[in-house]
Amino acid sequence: MSKPELTYDAKAMARMALACLDLTDLNDDSTESAVLDLCDRALTAHGPVAAICIWPRFVSAARKKLGPLSPVRIATVVNFPSGSLPSDTVVGETVTAIADGADEIDVVIPYAALKAGDEGAVRDLVTVARASTPAPARLKTILETGELGDPALIRKAADIALESGADFIKTSTGKVKINATLDSAEIMLTAIREAGSSAGLKPAGGIRTVADAASYFALCERVMGRGWASPRNFRFGASGLLGDVLATLDGTAPAKPGAGY
């Protein structure tokens, strides 16, 4: 059976996507200058993005640029991208990032260990990362769903992360061949719903257009109910989405039909 055609108000979807966007620069050759430019781009004429997501070494400069009261949160990554660092290293990265001004920590789970059958490695890592991320800072766990592959394994990773205190479950680092997909997002949303959790979802990697965003919003509505997706519990991790969002809001891009879900 073919998927139903998704219809939507392009500008309304663009506004929602903007509010839920973690504008990302995790390029290997990123510079402080590029991150400061990212801070400027995060404050658009149509409103701010939810957050910027940057390497830990740039958090302090971004905090100085944005100031303490900025509506744009600062997210950074730890145990990234391999998911294979020792727990004490992950704790050190997390503590330093928060001291430098990070509001959100995106930690990669030891997904290779999980594939090898070691569920305890994931539980232990998320638990120590949670303990190192005191409120109001928020912890996102990156499952690397494209590498896990098996839907049952993706569900297991989501369940462990939620049980261990994650505020968000995130699909991907954006550094592997397969990143965010609607199928993996549906597995993760179902895990959140069935756990009765208040945690959020962050699909990341490969989301480039308002049409892409609209498909994810439709999925959230179908699985979680109307109105669930908001910046508090839903984010897009993307570097390229902002351009299409702004073009849509400025009226310089044609409306694109969604691909359905």
The structural domains of the chain, with segments of one domain joined by +, span 10-246
Give every CB contact of residue 97 below 8 A, 6+ residues apart in sequence. Answer: 56, 59, 76, 78, 105
255 close to 220: Cβ distance less than 8 angstroms = no
255 has pLDDT over 80: no
How many CB atoms sit inside 10 A of residue 136's CB? 8
pLDDT of residue 1: 38
Confidence of residue 7 (pLDDT cuts 50, 70, 90): confident
* For residues 16-24, average pLDDT: 98
Q: For the chain, what's the residue count?
A: 261
Angle at 253 between CA 7 and CA 220, to 5 degrees: 35
242 has pLDDT over 90: yes
Burial class (CB in 10 A: 0-12, 13-18, 19+), 128: middle
pLDDT of residue 260: 30
5 has pLDDT over 90: no
Residues identified as active-site? 106, 170, 202
CATH number of 10-246: 3.20.20.70
What is the DSSP annotation of 34-64? Answer: HHHHHHHHHEETTEE-SEEEE-GGGHHHHHH
Q: What are the pLDDT digits (tens) for 212-223? A: 999 999 999 999
* For residues 24-32, average pLDDT: 97
- Whole-angstrom Cα distance, residue 12 to residue 8? 8
78 close to 93: Cβ distance less than 8 angstroms = yes
- Whole-angstrom Cα distance, residue 179 to residue 90? 23
* For residues 70-88, average pLDDT: 98
Beta strand residue intervals within 116-175, DSSP E: 138-142, 168-170
